[in-house]
């Protein structure tokens, strides 16, 4: 099973974000499909650690290890803030601590990730960036981007199709975004079923909820 750990923002936070995304969402420049595949609102989450493929029998062990981390971690007052792009193809919104030590979230992410070290070979990720993925370039847009790169690498200067969407420009438009504050009180251990969700995307199933019950520093 393919597992990750995350925070789930409350409905009002996701609604606020949805309004902001409506203001920057690019449309298709022709009759083709849209250039971005938006993550459905019900699937939006703040990724803390990605464990990759984990044997079915190791789920309880991972949940127990993760529970030991959350039991010693206090709830965090956080908000969605800023944005960026991973690998030129994934648009994300960032997360920041607004009440307390800003390093607390980074520390939690490191401990949440370490909980899976003896259970799964962790996939390489940006370990210092809690984020909520909101969109990915469509397969068509990625092919067009690859084609442009190949032409450029061959020194081909003939005019070609322009970019379907300028994802870094969308991220810059969201760089000033600040969402409502909320208190993150639990970490979810989630299974991702690839290709089982809307429009062929993943379907997320919560396998364990681990409350943050530690004392405030």
Q: Which helix (H) or strand (E) holds 170?
A: helix 167-174
Let me know if 128 is a catalytic residue: no
**For residues 136 and 161, what is the distance between their CA atoms, to the nearest angstrom?**
20
Let me know if 16 is a catalytic residue: no
Tell me which of 16, 19, 128, 131 is the catalytic residue: 131
**For residues 3 and 123, what is the distance between their CA atoms, to the nearest angstrom?**
11
Q: Residue 83: which of 129, 150, 143, 40 has the closest Cα?
A: 129
DSSP per-residue codes, 85-106: EETTTEEEEEEEEEES-THHHH
CB proximity list for 171: less than 8 A, separation 6 or greater: 83, 84, 85, 91
Give the CA radius of gyration of the chain.
19
Tell me which of 45, 128, 193, 204 is the catalytic residue: 45
Catalytic residue annotation: 45, 131
């Amino acid at each position: 099973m393919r597992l990750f750990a995350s925070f789930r923002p409350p409905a009002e936070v996701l609604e606020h974000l949805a309004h902001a995304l409506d203001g920057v969402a690019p449309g298709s420049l022709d009759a083709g499909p849209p250039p971005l595949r938006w993550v459905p609102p019900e699937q939006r989450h703040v990724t803390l650690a990605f464990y990759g493929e984990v044997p079915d029998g190791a789920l309880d062990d991972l949940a127990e290890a993760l529970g030991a981390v959350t039991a010693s971690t206090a709830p965090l007052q956080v908000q969605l803030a800023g944005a960026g792009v991973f690998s030129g193809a994934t648009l994300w919104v960032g997360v920041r601590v607004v009440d307390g030590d800003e390093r607390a979230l980074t520390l939690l992410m490191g401990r949440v990730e370490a909980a899976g070290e003896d259970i799964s070979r962790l996939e390489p990720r940006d370990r210092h960036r809690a984020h909520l993925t909101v969109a990915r370039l469509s397969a068509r847009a990625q092919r067009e981007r690859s084609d442009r790169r190949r032409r450029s690498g061959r020194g081909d200067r003939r005019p070609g199709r322009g970019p379907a969407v300028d994802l870094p420009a969308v991220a810059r438009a969201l760089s000033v975004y600040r969402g409502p504050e909320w208190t993150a009180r639990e970490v979810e251990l989630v299974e991702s079923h690839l290709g089982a969700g809307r429009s062929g995307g993943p379907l997320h199933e919560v396998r364990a909820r681990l409350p943050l019950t530690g004392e405030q520093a």
